[in-house]
Amino acid sequence: MKQLLFKSRRDFQKGKKALSSVQMDEDQDCKTKVHKSFSYNVIKVEKMETRLQPPQVRIIKNFDTQRGIERFRFVVKGSFCVNQNRYIFKVHFRHTLNIQIQWKTKVFSPKKSEVLT
């Protein structure tokens, strides 16, 4: 059975917008939960920055062999500038992907040799 939940939040006075979705799926082998979120914060600036920092990427993966749970987390944070109607805005963003797999059996992800064949 598959379930999908979608949320959208906006605060135009503060220049914030956040979108998120959660998808839950269950089959005979495992329960899977995928959570995606995108958040943006827009601020007005006087001049465009020429040296913006590159986005920061963080990847975390772990296994809990006692409970049979695999987790994967992928986060990208950064900022960029845009020009709109003679105004300059700086947009701070954060994109997140969380995946959790709870195995019903003690079999984790297939070995490399099984994937290649």
Phi-psi region of 4 (alpha: psi -120 to 50; beta: other; left: phi over 0): beta
pLDDT band at 112 (very low <50, low <70, confident <90, very high): low
The confidence score (pLDDT) of residue 4 equals: 85
The confidence score (pLDDT) of residue 116 equals: 56
Global pTM exceeds 0.85: no
Question: pLDDT tens, 45-101?
Answer: 988 777 888 999 999 999 888 888 999 999 999 999 988 888 999 999 999 999 999
pLDDT band at 25 (very low <50, low <70, confident <90, very high): very high
